[in-house]
Structures are given as C-alpha cells and as structure tokens.
Structure 1
Amino acid sequence: MKPTTSFGQKIIQFFHILFPILITQIALSAIAFFDTNMSGRFGTADLAGVAIGTSLWIPIQTGLSGILIGLTPIVSQLLGKRRDGEVAYKVMQGIWLSLIVSLLVLVLGALALGPVLSFMDLEPSVRSIAFRFLGALSFGVIPLFGYTVLRSCIDATGQTRVSMFITLIALPVNVGLNYLLIFGHWGFPRMGGVGAGVASAITYWVIFGVALLFIFLAEPFKNLGILRKFHALSPAAIKEQLLIGVPIGFSIFFETAVFSTVTLLMSRFDTMTIAAHQAAINFASMLYMIPLSICMSLTILVGFEAGSGRLKDARQYRLLGIG
C-alpha cells in the first residue's frame, strides 16, 4: 500500500485492495457450495446431511475467523506507523490465539455435536451423514484458523492478490478431492457426503501450507521475519486482539447465522425440502460476500491511514466504502 493524495487515487487503491478480497471470499464460500451440490449428485440424504453440517459449521467458522481477522487492523496500523519490526510478534500471538480457538472448537464440538443433532428432528441417514461430515471436517480446523491469521497479515500489507491466488488454488483442489472421495473414482473410497468433509479438511491443510511458503519465501513478508522467531504467548497481546476481533466476530456470526438458522429450522421438514432450500440459499450466501469484502478492504485501508496519522484520508476511505 502507498499513501494517496487525491480521491481518484483512493478509488483506484480501494478497488485494487477490494477485488482480490472479493474473489477470495467468493472462492471460500464456493467450497461449501461445491460440498453441498456435489453431495447432492450422490444422493438427497447426502445433500441434506452436508447442508445441516454446513449450517452448523459456517456461523462458527466465520464468527471465530472474524475474531482472528482482528489482527488485520493491528498489522496495518503498525505498517502505517512504520513499526515493521513489531509485526512478527503480533502475528505469532495471532497464531497462539488461533490454536486456542481451534482447541475450544474441537472440545466443544466433541461434547455438543451428538446432542445437538439428536435434538433436531432428522431422518437417521441425514443425522449420520451430518455427524460424520463434521467429524471429518474437524481435522482441518487447526490449519483453517492458522491460515486465517496468515491471510490477515498478508492482506494487511496490501498484498490481497496473494490471498486470492492461494484461495484460487484451494478451489480446484477441493472440487477434485470431492470428485474422488464423494463418488469413489480412480480407486478412492466411495464416501458420499462424508467425503466432502474429508476433502475440505485436506484443502485447509493445503492452503495453510501454501500460505506458509509465501510468508517464508516471498516479499514483503520475508523481510518482516514472520514465524522465524519463537514468541511465548502474551495475555496482553491476546487481549488486544480480542478487544478488536470479538466485535468483528460477533457481527459476522449473527449475519451468517441468519442463513444457517433458516436451514436448521427447515430440518423439521422432509429431506427433499432441506436439499432444495440449501441449493437455493447457496446463491444468497455468495451475494453476502460483496458487503463483507468491502468491510475487510476498509479495515485494511482505514487502519493504514489511521496508523500513519492521516485521519482525513481515513475518513475519505470510510465515505468511499459506505458509498
């Protein structure tokens, strides 16, 4: 990123940041889209099971990711203040927070998933697929939240095209693995909807690994020294990120929960109705990525300008984003 002097330059830089983020968000939501729709080609019960599993997972994933995204304005302000040497420490604290969040999700999921699904009035086959889908997906929780931290750092530097590139790698990997694991092609086990969970977990490990390569090998991340030195967990640094991230996380959680709650309410109906509803709601979920991407772009640009002390420029970006 660079300072801008005119409103026209701000418009160009805003869309330069926004467009890759929008592509990234659509690609990430497309993973759930392909999971449900490819499962639907295997069977109606599989589509319904994956739909229920996804509806339980997406609000939790996006809400907790929102907490971790709190790292973005912290890093962008440090860069605006030219305190680049502190970035690596903040990112390491973000990694610690992602591990804590991941372990909490895994423990609470292990305790609550069975009772929650039993409480819902689901057909036995749908309940079984939803349970096993989420069980398979859980193996990708740690790398997914770790990637969210690395992506927040990457985006905060203004290199949103890198995040876009990584996520665009994820999409064909996920679709290819779905093809192999859902339908059992090329000698792979025929797992149905559960295969979509396995495919997503593997995909999360892939994008985390690719993000690590960029962090270690590419500029400007290499010069920032990210993850090259161990830093112990700091409660003060974690608290700083939580103060920013928790409001973001709650906002995104309740916004995405609107979609998921309707799907869970639909569980009272038959399997065909659940499947039809999920196929339709996927498109509405993708449209939500437009305002979310604008918000993420503003977080980066306003943070950078505020950190540099250019509050007038920060206000202009605010007006541009709202417009």
Structure 2
Amino acid sequence: MRETKDLREKTRQFLTILIPILVTQAGLSLITVLDTVMSGKVSAADLAGVAIGSSLWTPVYTGLAGILTAVTPMVAQLMGAKRQKAVPYTVIQSVYVAGIISIAVIVSGYLLIDPVLENLDLEQKVAVIAKQYLICIGLGILPLFVYNVMRCFIDSLGKTRVTMLITLCSLPINFVLNYLFIFGNFGFPKLGGAGAGMASAITYWCICLISLYIVHKKTPFHQFRIFGTFYSFSFAESMKLLKIGIPIGFAIFFETSIFAAVTLLMSHFDTVTIASHQAAMNFASLLYMLPLSVSMTLTIVVGFEAGAKRFKD
C-alpha cells in the first residue's frame, strides 16, 4: 500500500487490490461448487446431503469468518499510521480468537447437528450424508479460521495477489481430493458426499500451512516477525477485535443465510428437487462475490487512509 495523489492513482490501486480479491472469493466459493457437482455424480441423495450440509455450514462459517475480517481494517490503519511494530501483536491476538471460535463451533456442532437435521424432515439417507459431511468439515475448522486471519493480514498490506495464488492452488488440491474420497479411487475409501467434506477439510489444512509458510518466510511479510515473539492472550485486545468484527460477522451471516434458508425450506420437497435447487444456487452465490469483494477492497484502502489521518482521501 502507498499514498495516492489523484483519482487515477487511486483507481489503479483500488483495481490492483480488488481483482485478486474477486478471484479469491470466486475460488473459495468454487470449492463448494466442486463438492456439489462431484457429489452429484454419485447420486441425487449425495448431492442433496452435501447441499443441506453446506447450507447449514456456509452461514456459520461466513458469519464467524466475518468477525475475523476485523483484522483487515485494524492492520490497515496501523500501516497507515506507520505503526508496523504493533502489527504482530494484533495478528497473534486474532489467531487466539480464531482458536476460541473454532472450539465453540466444534462443541456447538456436536450438540446441535442431530436435533437440527431431525427437524428438517429429510430422507434418512440424505440426513446421514449431511451429518457425515458436516463432521468431516469439522476437521478443517481450526485451520480454516487461522487461514482467514493470515489472509486478512496479507490483504491488509495490499498484497491481495498472494492470497489469490493460494486460493488458486486450493482448487486443484480440492478437485484431486474429491476425486479420491468421493469416488474411492486409487484405493481410497469411497465416501460419497461425506468425501467432499473430507476433501474440503484437508484442503483447508493445506492453504493454512501455505499461508503460514508465506507469512513466516516471504517478503514483505517475514519482516514483521509475526511468530518471532510470544504474546499471551489479551482479553482487552480480543474485545477490540470483536467490537469491530461482530457487526461485520452478523451482517455477512444474514446476507448469506438468505441463500441457505431457501435450501433448508426446500428440504420438505423430494431429494431430486433439493439437488436441482442447489445446483442452480451455486451460480447465484457466485454473483454475491462481486459486491463482497468491492466492500473488502474498500475496507483495506479506507483503513489505510484513515490510519494516516488523510480523511479527505
């Protein structure tokens, strides 16, 4: 990120940050599309199970990940104010919050999956596949939220192309893992729709480890020495993050839950109807990524200017 003097420079910087974010968001949503499409090759029941499972998971994930996006304006403002030394502390506290959120999601899922699925009045086979899918996804919750913190840190420096490349790497990884776990190829267990959840969880571990390596080793991120100092958990700093992040999380949760709620309402119809609806909704959800990407870009550039107290900019 750098100071821009006129509209042309501002537009160029905005687009430079926006386009990789848009590709990243589309790529992340394509993981769900891959899960759905490849599960549909097994049976309509598997597709429907993945559809129900992802409809329960997506609003929860996007809402909670929205809380962690508070890292972006916080770090952007620190960079604008030239307070780089304060960045590692903020990022590490955010990792702690990501860990707490992960534990809360896993415990809540353990307690609520069965009652929620029972109330949806699904065919037995579809309900079982949805449950197995969610359990498998649960194995990747912690790395997914940690990755979100790393991604927000990287993006806040204006290096959105880096997270774009990480996401583009995740797509072939997810495709290969789906091929192995959904269909049981090369001696792997044939898990059907549940295999899509397992593939996604492993993919989340991969992108988390890649992002941690980049932050630790690559320029300009390694100069911050994010993991160079041990910081104990700070309740005050965590509350600062939550004060900004919770409203963001709620906003995104309600936006994405509109898509999910319709799928859950469809659960009262037959399996083929559920599967067909989900296939169509995958394309609609991709369109949502454009305004979301614009808002994420604005968060970065406005945060940078606000930190530098260039309020007119």
TM-score range, shorter chain: over 0.9
Query: Which residue of structure 1 lines up, in the alignment, with residue 187 of structure 2?
Result: 187
Query: Which residue of structure 1 lines up, in the alignment, with residue 271 of structure 2?
Result: 271
SS at match of 2:252: helix
Give the AA of the match of 2:156. Answer: A
Query: How big is each residue's C-alpha offset from its partner over 1:258-310, in whole Å with a ceiling of 9 and x where there is no partner?
Result: 00000000000000000000000000000000000000000000000000111
Say if 2:150 is the partner of 1:150. Answer: yes
- Residue 94 of structure 1: CA displacement? 0.3
- Residue 113 of structure 1: CA displacement? 0.5
- Residue 118 of structure 1: CA displacement? 0.7
Query: Which residue of structure 2 lines up, in the alignment, with residue 36 of structure 1?
Result: 36
Give the AA of the match of 1:196. Answer: A
Matches of 2:93 and 2:234 in 1, distance apart? 7
Query: Which residue of structure 2 lines up, in the alignment, with residue 138 of structure 1?
Result: 138
Query: Which residue of structure 2 lines up, in the alignment, with residue 80 of structure 1?
Result: 80
- Residue 220 of structure 1: CA displacement? 1.2
SS at match of 1:226: coil
Question: Residues 90-129 of structure 1 correspond to what in structure 2 (within 5 A)?
Answer: 90-129=90-129
Matches of 2:111 and 2:186 in 1, distance apart? 36
More divergent stretch after superposition (212-221 vs 122-131): 212-221
Query: Which residue of structure 2 lines up, in the alignment, with residue 319 of structure 1?
Result: none
Query: Which residue of structure 2 lines up, in the alignment, with residue 316 of structure 1?
Result: none
SS at match of 2:4: coil
- Residue 192 of structure 1: CA displacement? 0.4
Question: Residues 178-257 of structure 1 correspond to what in structure 2 (within 5 A)?
Answer: 178-257=178-257
Matches of 1:119 and 1:247 in 2, distance apart? 29
SS at match of 1:311: coil
After TM superposition, the score normalised by the length of structure 2 is 0.99
Query: How big is each residue's C-alpha offset from its partner over 1:221-240, in whole Å with a ceiling of 9 and x where there is no partner?
Result: 11111122111110110011
- Residue 186 of structure 1: CA displacement? 1.3
Matches of 2:29 and 2:235 in 1, distance apart? 33
Query: Which residue of structure 2 lines up, in the alignment, with residue 163 of structure 1?
Result: 163
Query: How big is each residue's C-alpha offset from its partner over 1:95-153, in whole Å with a ceiling of 9 and x where there is no partner?
Result: 00000000000000000011100111100000000000000110000000000000000
Query: Which residue of structure 2 lines up, in the alignment, with residue 16 of structure 1?
Result: 16
Say if 2:89 is the partner of 1:89. Answer: yes
Query: Which residue of structure 2 lines up, in the alignment, with residue 58 of structure 1?
Result: 58
Say if 2:291 is the partner of 1:306. Answer: no
After TM superposition, the score normalised by the length of structure 1 is 0.96
Query: How big is each residue's C-alpha offset from its partner over 1:196-253, in whole Å with a ceiling of 9 and x where there is no partner?
Result: 0000000000000000110011111111111221111101100111111011100100
Say if 2:20 is the partner of 1:7. Answer: no
Give the AA of the match of 1:297. Answer: T
Matches of 2:170 and 2:62 in 1, distance apart? 17
What RMSD in Å do the two structures reach over aligned CA positions? Answer: 0.5
- Residue 184 of structure 1: CA displacement? 1.0
SS at match of 2:139: helix
Structure 1, gaps ≥5 residues long:
314-323
Give the AA of the match of 2:180. Answer: L
Matches of 1:220 and 1:86 in 2, distance apart? 16
Query: How big is each residue's C-alpha offset from its partner over 1:20-54, in whole Å with a ceiling of 9 and x where there is no partner?
Result: 00000000000011101100011100000000000
Matches of 1:37 and 1:121 in 2, distance apart? 24
SS at match of 1:312: coil
Give the AA of the match of 1:25. Answer: Q
More divergent stretch after superposition (108-117 vs 184-193): 184-193
Matches of 1:286 and 1:232 in 2, distance apart? 39
Matches of 1:226 and 1:158 in 2, distance apart? 17
Matches of 2:280 and 2:6 in 1, distance apart? 43
Matches of 2:33 and 2:230 in 1, distance apart? 38
Query: How big is each residue's C-alpha offset from its partner over 1:54-76, in whole Å with a ceiling of 9 and x where there is no partner?
Result: 00000000000000001100000
Matches of 1:165 and 1:57 in 2, distance apart? 25
Query: Which residue of structure 2 lines up, in the alignment, with residue 70 of structure 1?
Result: 70
Give the AA of the match of 2:136. Answer: A
Query: Which residue of structure 1 lines up, in the alignment, with residue 48 of structure 2?
Result: 48
